[in-house]
Structure 1
Amino acid sequence: MTEQMEMLEEDTQKGKYMTFKSGNEYFGIELKYICEIIQIQNITEVPETEDYIKGLINLRGKIIPVIDVRLRFKQEVIEYDDRTCIIIINVKSTMVGLIVEKIEDVVTIDEGAITPPPSLSSANGKNKYVYGLGRVRDKVKLLLDPEKILNDEELEMFEDLSNENIMEEN
């Protein structure tokens, strides 16, 4: 019965993307990766990490690493405001928060409306995280592969940090 429920849930999320703004571009992440969206909150910095890794938040007792999407994509730094939020995603069984400027919408993008990104050598670095371009009405959304936003070493570090903090709390 549970397996049928999971399959049904997957079907209802198929082709659905949470879209958000970063810089002048709009991105999309498949809903199946998204756990929740929260307001920006206090972030505990982690020393000696990349600048886009903002630190850790405590979300109802769970320690979650947070990265700034703008900085990850080498866009200019902006001040966080009341529209800034954190999208909590699940990547390879690790919860990660993505700080984004503004949530746009949940949209359905048919597979036929998704094309592979151009194979340009991308100086700005976004191309390696984008697996497709989704056409929604007259706009194009850059569809992100959450598993490529963080590399395996970063995911491992986040897992270790989360486990350390959980142990310190006990």
Structure 2
Amino acid sequence: MEASNVPALRQQGAVSAKAHGPKSGEYLTFRLGSEEYGIDILKVQEIRSYEQPTRIANAPDFIKGVVNLRGVIVPIVDLRLKLNCPSAEYNSFTVVIVLNVKNRVVGAVVDSVSDVLELNRDAIKPAPELSAASVDTSFITGIGSVGERMLILMDIEGLMSSAEMGLMDAAVAA
């Protein structure tokens, strides 16, 4: 699969790129296991086929390593492992979503990319509040409904720049 540009994705049925915030706007949808997620399209730089990254010693399991993307060294995070999905199989549908997070390029491995959807305020419900201390839902901004589809809307910038990820300097993440 060739690298695809985000402008081409926007033409698949999305509108203006001026929508801001987690409530309404355009979302790139992707699958992790049987769940479908959505992230702000404005954070997406490109989508690439998965290639084995160069491993980094002592990195957490969810950081698969780094790749050289046109001269830029990009850390690759497997979101399936980060979000405790039951399995993380690499196949022809596995892709890397290249993100621009706080002026840093980061790759996110997902099972597959679905499409770009425009969601208005009426299609988005607040994220559920779970009282269990072991469940971190801070990166979930809402639940989107499109027909029969349910999308978990993520704050990908918040997730990728969290201290636990270790991908951003403290000064950059603040």
Shorter-chain TM-score above 0.5: yes
User: Which residue identity does 2:70 align to in structure 1?
Assistant: R
In structure 2, the residue matched to 1:98 is 108
User: Which residue identity does 1:156 align to in structure 2?
Assistant: M
Considering only CA atoms, is the larger Rg found in Structure 1 or Structure 2?
Answer: 1
The answer to whether the 8 A contact 2:30-2:111 is kept is yes
Per-residue CA deviation, residues 33-80 of structure 1 (Å, 9 max, x unaligned), is 000000001201111121111110111111111100110101123220
Give the TM-score taking structure 2 as reference length.
0.78
1:28 aligns to 2:38 (yes or no):
yes
User: Which residue identity does 1:142 align to in structure 2?
Assistant: I
In structure 2, the residue matched to 1:12 is 16
The 5 A counterparts of 1:9-158 are 12-13=16-17, 14=19, 15-121=25-131, 125=135, 127-150=137-160, 151-152=162-163, 154-156=166-168
User: Which residue identity does 1:22 align to in structure 2?
Assistant: L
Structure with more helix by fraction: 1
Distance 2:68 2:123 in 1: 38
Distance 2:78 2:136 in 1: 13
Give the TM-score taking structure 1 as reference length.
0.80
Distance of aligned partners of 1:37 and 1:45 in 2 relative to their CA distance in 1, 3 Å threshold: same
Q: Which runs of 5+ in 1 are unaligned?
A: 1-10, 158-170
Give the SS at the match of 2:65.
strand
Distance 1:110 1:156 in 2: 31
Q: Percent identity, aligned pairs only?
A: 35
Give the SS at the match of 1:149.
helix
The answer to whether the 8 A contact 1:73-1:124 is kept is no
Distance 2:141 2:106 in 1: 19
